[in-house]
Chain A
């Protein structure tokens, strides 16, 4: 398949900005794998993705992996899948647990970072680290994705360079599990915000 054919449904005016963009994704689970799929389809030039986890059967309820990938590191499987969608972009994968020390180095070249962790303490750590090191670069967080239904509660909020997508209230707990539609909606809102920011001057 030719690269030109892949991009034939893209508005030619936005292609240069998409191709020159570098976007970071912190976490490759429910949010991260879905964000990565959409941004690869959008033709973002380079994605930098970090995660330390391996694929478990229970991940398949909302994450973009397949039966034959169970047990693989998420970043290895995600790279395989992204190349199956769009082999024309650059994917830099890091199999690592992110922390205050490695985040600034791994993501120093990105234009925008997407927070795609599961646990609140990791979200807190990433946002605090990001706003300390790169306050001028947008960070897009996913907050409140569990359960099903209630589309109208899901929103986007902007606090300077911090963007929040989600309902900001529904946490996974007994009786409220994370499910594909709501996690996918929020992930795609994050990806959509990435595009809006990258293309705002066009």
Chain B
């Protein structure tokens, strides 16, 4: 059974897993994000195209207003 890590939580890995799929599985509904996979930026335009490998470390940062 393969997994990956999303913000420190373990998630079951699936074939053809994209950031969009991960967001849905994690129930992350917020819009403003920065996503890094194994330290590398995944651009917003790549959320539905780049396939995330098993054992990846995914960091999803939720951006909120205020400053």
The residues of A with any CB-CB pair to B shorter than 8 Å are 27, 29-32, 116-121, 123-124, 127-128, 131-132, 135, 142-146, 159-160, 162, 164, 166, 168-172, 178, 183
Contacts and interface: CB of A to CB of B under 8 A. Distances in A.
A179 to B, nearest CB: 10
Contact of B67 (A29, A131, A159, A160): A29
Contacts of A170: 64, 66
B59 interface: yes
A132 B36 CA distance: 11
B34 A178 contact: no
A33 B49 CA distance: 39
Contact of A146 (B33, B40, B44, B66): B66
A162 B65 contact: no
A145 B41 CA distance: 25
A4 B36 CA distance: 45
A144 B43 contact: no
Contacts of B67: 27, 29-32, 116-118, 142, 145, 178, 183
A171 B34 contact: no
Q: How large is the interface on B (under 10, 10 to 19, 20 to 34, 35 or more residues)?
A: 10 to 19
Contact of A128 (B34, B62, B64, B65): B34
A111 B49 CA distance: 33
A128 B34 CA distance: 7
Contacts of A160: 36, 39
Contacts of A127: 34, 61, 63
Task: Give the residue among B33, B44, B61 with the most A Cβ atoms within 10 A.
Answer: B61
B32 interface: yes
Contacts of A178: 66-67
Contact of A124 (B36, B39, B63, B66): B63
A44 to B, nearest CB: 20
Contacts of B32: 120-121, 123-124
B66 A118 contact: yes
